[in-house]
Amino acid sequence: MVLERPRPAEEGPLQARDIPEPAPGPGEIRARVCVCGVCHTDLHIVQGELAMHKLPVVPGHQVVGVVDAIGVGVKGFREGDRTGIIWLHSTDGSCQYCGRGQENLCINAKFTGYDVDGGYAEAVIVPAAFAYHIPKNFSDENAAPLLCAGVIGYRSLKLSGASRSDRVGLYGFGASAHVVLQIARHMGCEVYVFTRTAAHKELATRLGATWVGDAKDRPPQELDAAIVFAPAGPVVLDALHALRKGGTVVLAGITMTPIPQTDYSLLYHERVVRSVANSTRQDARELLELAAEVPVRTEVKLYRLEEANQALADMKHSRIEGAGVLRIG
């Protein structure tokens, strides 16, 4: 499914097209795509809410596939291996950020389904050094949401500084939050979920949330940390209102509506607001290992590849509990 001209998801921005089958270059592998998860970033791309890097482009960056072609010099993968592909497609390995272990901020990073064609397709190319082995206990469709929703959620949780017995607030309850909830519970945290949607409240309760409410609600106790998944600036202030002194609010989205002006007192007492951008390969490896250990159970709603526009529209309107996944192979 190819994006040629960004527009609202309801207007069918993605079109089915026959495109030449890509061949792997040196160090690259080709994966025959089995499934590809649907991410909010895909929605922002197809709707033109991010600056476009490549058009036409095939979106999709939560790919589970089977390796069917290998470029020269590839190590770690053989034909027939199952593999996972994430948002971070490649880095230069040489800039100041790569040098300080922050490859997620690499100035020459390329992203799957944005700078290069992604997984809403039958085949996708990736450098083997940026592909992952997926733990055996996950089916293809249950693994897909781990690859971005899970990885970014996990990085957000790490950067929130939350530890055992802490109270963690999750604002917005889509694919990422439903994975983070399970990991935070596994770590021994109490989880407070803020969402409007009745079905999302019910899923959060089922997965072990201590408390569920609306974004404007005050939790019964102050939060030690909060993660904002909703791309809505005013929610940042809701989270700050619920946060204890010295607590951290992490903003997990790639874009957000403006954050309203506020009194300094809401931030004072060493409260921290920080964003999360992309993830490192180490984040992805850690998350996959941890998800298998928990074990994380992902809720997925399956669509056919041709239904990608529908899947994006359903996600936009919070009609998916857990994650949307396209079944391709």
| Contacts to Zn ion by CB under 5 A | 39, 41, 91-92, 95, 98, 106, 148
Spell out a b/e string for 72-90, using b for 16 or more CB atoms within 10 Å of the CB, else e. Answer: eebeebeeebbbbbbbbbb
Give the residue with the Cβ less far from Zn ion, 159 or 267. 159
Helix (H, G, I), strand (E, B) or coil at 276: coil
Give the residue with the Cβ less far from Zn ion, 98 or 235. 98
Q: Are 92 and 106 in contact (CB under 8 A)?
A: yes
CB of 43 to Zn ion, least distance (A): 10
CB of 18 to Zn ion, least distance (A): 26
Nearest to 238 by CA among 204, 262, 205, 268: 262
Give the residue with the Cβ less far from Zn ion, 240 or 252. 252
Give the residue with the Cβ less far from Zn ion, 237 or 328. 328
CB of 226 to Zn ion, least distance (A): 20
CB of 39 to Zn ion, least distance (A): 3
Give the residue with the Cβ less far from Zn ion, 146 or 148. 148
CB of 248 to Zn ion, least distance (A): 22
